[in-house]
Structure 1
Amino acid sequence: MPARTTGRYVPGSLAGSRYQAFIPDPLPPDPPLDLAMHDLLSRKERADQALGRLDGITLMLPDPELFLYQYVRKEALLSSQIEGTQSSLSDLLLFELDEAPGVPIDDVEEVSNYVAALNHGLKRLREDDFPLSLRLIREMHALLLHGGRGADKTPGEFRRGQVWVGGPSPALAQFVPPPPDALDATLAAFERFLHAPASDASPLIKAALAHVQFETIHPFSDGNGRLGRLLITLILCHEGVLREPSLYLSLYFKQRRSDYYDRLNAVRMRGDWEGWLGFFLDGVADTAQQAVETAQRLLALLARDRARIATLGARAGNVGLVFEQFARRVLLGVPQVQPHLALSAPTIRAAIRTLEEMGIVNELTGQRRHRVFAYRQYLDILSEGAQPL
């Protein structure tokens, strides 16, 4: 590995306790990355190919919004679980139907805010032609911490105090990010890197470097981990690698939390950018392949259940119409289905009863009124790996 420092330490004190805070050097790394190390070129090629397949299958889906609607919510859930929330995917979907889930409401609200932040960032980049910038990051942070536990952590504003990661105090912390008076210069350099032309670094490499730098700067009082993971997908969409936000690494990071934090610290302590890149590129390749396989399994499930419904004879028409609503949103009750179909409430209830008898949907709430049904196998496939830690 090339001899490389990635920043400098500055002394600080809090309540009489002294510590060392880390200020990262601007990106890109100096000396430059050595992609001949750790077989990085072939690992990058594998990641690029997997991303290409993922982007292609997204176009092949009969309704890409169907897949992305659910997939974005799974990512939001996983990213929030890394921070300690205890929601499940069905909890989030029930919350979005205004049904009270059986978990603390703050947990589900955090996950829902993540979805809102991602959607806002993509809309600004695409429809408003807004640059990927510190201002956009602040806007997304404001949505991420809207309500719930983060409402008192200055949403949308860079921190004005010292923060630390791990441990009861900065002196005993695993890592201490830059002091507040160093944030302006560090963030300005970070924004310049975000604005650098795509030709200066491949989008994958750019996203990998930017993620570590953002986590190292830790510019907010709360929500840095979730926003740093969001930034990966945002960069890949902004740079044109992905048409839709279909790649998410939170499951990979969740399953390898110890390795993930070790790799971040190795960059800060030893300048081991190459070790981090190998870990990141393998994650992109594995995650993209898993997403392709998930999409294929969901397509097969939809085709099988549509074929089963087609055998119902005279009932097939109404049952099929109601089924397609479940294919779009997975969790629904009669009030959510009715606005989308020219069918009466009793007809919709009869169709749902048929789907329930076929084992396609099942009731979740156990209530006699305001009942909510789930497209069970679809939800099970999507929920794999998304159980709370």
Structure 2
Amino acid sequence: MNSGDYTYIWQANDWPSWRFDLATLAGPMADVSRAQGLLMGRLADVGMALRDQASLATLTEDVVKTSEIEGEQLNAASVRSSIARRLGVDIGALAPVDRHIEGVVEMVLDATANCHAPVSRERLFGWHGALFPSGHSGLSKIRIGDWRDDVSGPMPVVSGPIGRQKVHFEAPPADRLETDTGRFLVWVNSTSNEPPLLKAGLGHLWFVTLHPFDDGNGRIARAIGDLLLARADGSPQRFYSLSAQIQRERKAYYDILGQTQKRSMDITEWLAWFLDTLHRAVDQAQHTLDAVLTKARFWQRWATAPFNERQVKLLNKLLDGFEGKLTSSKWAAIAKCSPDTALRDINDLLAQGVLRKLDAGGRSTSYELNDRKRSIDLSITHKLSAKLKAQRDIR
């Protein structure tokens, strides 16, 4: 360990004098910038309506996944409805939304849509209150609108289910928070020497190290990272989700976070991980855009088809990435109809050529969109064109 006589970086004599090797990070930063350029180039060609749909899909995933990292499952349809209503995007019938979902959505949208507004204590307290509208985390009452205290002992930063939690590090004492958060907020709101992408990675790390609230620190740290990324992009509209990528790499995230806390103030390794993860998040956004375009083309093709409400609902579920195999029994359960009605709906779509039956028969008969192969071809074509463009850029 390179930490000398201390256990955690916040105990170092030079805290918080962060250091990093810019020469080592220059290549990964350039890679992220190229990936962002490819994505924005495609988005520039699809029109405002499809950009709104892509942003809606990204924000929905971001809200769902930032909570999922903390072990909390949100209803994706309700999240999507809440975001669509706030952005003025028409998605047809809206799903019911509770206060808790509204709070998470409010925080994520405020962080990105108002990315250039100063980050203050009051703004952070507002985000925290939005995450916990009842003033409780589970059954435990927590402090809202104030920093945590140490009445119950030092603040451990943990991951994993209750009973099998892993402690990654310990946050600074509560009596330091007023000073430490004040210094952090001055840095966030001022013009600093760090390249914008690195500032986003550092802002995330710095806040999660402080862990100033009783709960919700991870979600707020990711919101701060998104706010700084939106500033770096020069656009409040989001088309990639770092939170979703962190959820896909959750173990690696907590591993690098814990390792960074027990080293020196040189955070080059953390920033390299952050940039690589961000690069993968931008690449993943290409698939999100593929799905948006596939869905748009599908409904353009079938715009005049006499689908009933149940059929529209199930087709949209298939287009949004239905997990598992669609059977007539699942159709009946989702559409809240009888098995006979479900089978009539399916047979009608088979006759029109919208669906096709998969090979297995009997009780395991399942169905998929007839355009599925076309969607796969679209994804392959996109990958090839992106690769060729990247090669041209290098030359």
- Whether TM-score is above 0.5 comes out as yes
Correspondences of 1:302-321 after superposition (within 5 Å):
302-310=296-304, 312=305
Take 1:6 and 1:53, find their aligned partners in 2: how far apart are those partners? 44
- Residue 134 (structure 2) aligned to one of 128, 147, 158: 147
Q: What residue in structure 2 maps to residue 251 of structure 1?
A: 244
Q: What residue in structure 1 maps to residue 287 of structure 2?
A: 293
- Residue 163 (structure 1) aligned to one of 146, 155, 161: 155
Correspondences of 1:338-353 after superposition (within 5 Å):
351-352=308-309
Deviation at 1:158, TM superposition (A): 1.5
Q: What residue in structure 2 maps to residue 84 of structure 1?
A: 71
Take 1:307 and 1:7, find their aligned partners in 2: how far apart are those partners? 67
Q: What residue in structure 1 maps to residue 104 of structure 2?
A: 114
Take 2:82 and 2:239, find their aligned partners in 1: how far apart are those partners? 23
Take 2:259 and 2:80, find their aligned partners in 1: how far apart are those partners? 38
Take 2:106 and 2:204, find their aligned partners in 1: how far apart are those partners? 20
**C-alpha distance 36-238 of structure 1, shift in aligned 2 (>3 A):** closer
Take 2:315 and 2:258, find their aligned partners in 1: how far apart are those partners? 52
CA contact 1:50–1:288 (8 Å) conserved in 2: yes
SS at match of 2:183: helix
Take 1:115 and 1:216, find their aligned partners in 2: how far apart are those partners? 24
Correspondences of 1:6-17 after superposition (within 5 Å):
none
Take 2:5 and 2:60, find their aligned partners in 1: how far apart are those partners? 36
**1:125-173 superposed Cα distances (whole Å, 9 cap, x missing partner):** 45xxx3133332222222122238538322332112342123999xx94
Q: What residue in structure 2 maps to residue 133 of structure 1?
A: 120
Q: Which amino acid aligns with 1:141?
A: H
**1:245-273 superposed Cα distances (whole Å, 9 cap, x missing partner):** 23322222222222211211222211251
**C-alpha distance 213-363 of structure 1, shift in aligned 2 (>3 A):** farther
- Provide the TM-score with structure 1 as the length reference: 0.67
**1:159-204 superposed Cα distances (whole Å, 9 cap, x missing partner):** 12342123999xx943210111111111122112212315x11111
Correspondences of 1:258-269 after superposition (within 5 Å):
258-269=251-262
Correspondences of 1:196-275 after superposition (within 5 Å):
196-197=190-191, 200-271=193-264, 272-275=266-269
CA contact 2:112–2:227 (8 Å) conserved in 1: yes
CA contact 1:79–1:250 (8 Å) conserved in 2: yes
CA contact 1:55–1:244 (8 Å) conserved in 2: no
Q: Give the count of matched residue pairs.
A: 307
CA contact 1:203–1:241 (8 Å) conserved in 2: no
Is residue 174 of structure 2 the alignment partner of residue 187 of structure 1? no
CA RMSD of aligned residues (A): 3.8
Q: What residue in structure 2 maps to residue 46 of structure 1?
A: 31
CA contact 1:80–1:110 (8 Å) conserved in 2: no
Q: Which amino acid aligns with 1:80?
A: S
CA contact 1:158–1:219 (8 Å) conserved in 2: yes
**C-alpha distance 185-363 of structure 1, shift in aligned 2 (>3 A):** farther
Correspondences of 1:59-98 after superposition (within 5 Å):
59-62=44-47, 63=49, 64-90=51-77, 92-93=79-80, 97=94
**1:43-82 superposed Cα distances (whole Å, 9 cap, x missing partner):** 1111122223334444444323222223212111111111
- Provide the TM-score with structure 2 as the length reference: 0.66
**C-alpha distance 196-72 of structure 1, shift in aligned 2 (>3 A):** same
Take 1:7 and 1:65, find their aligned partners in 2: how far apart are those partners? 52
Take 1:248 and 1:153, find their aligned partners in 2: how far apart are those partners? 29
SS at match of 1:166: strand
**C-alpha distance 360-231 of structure 1, shift in aligned 2 (>3 A):** closer
**C-alpha distance 356-133 of structure 1, shift in aligned 2 (>3 A):** closer
Deviation at 1:210, TM superposition (A): 1.0
Moved more, 212-221 or 157-166: 157-166
Q: Which amino acid aligns with 2:281?
A: T
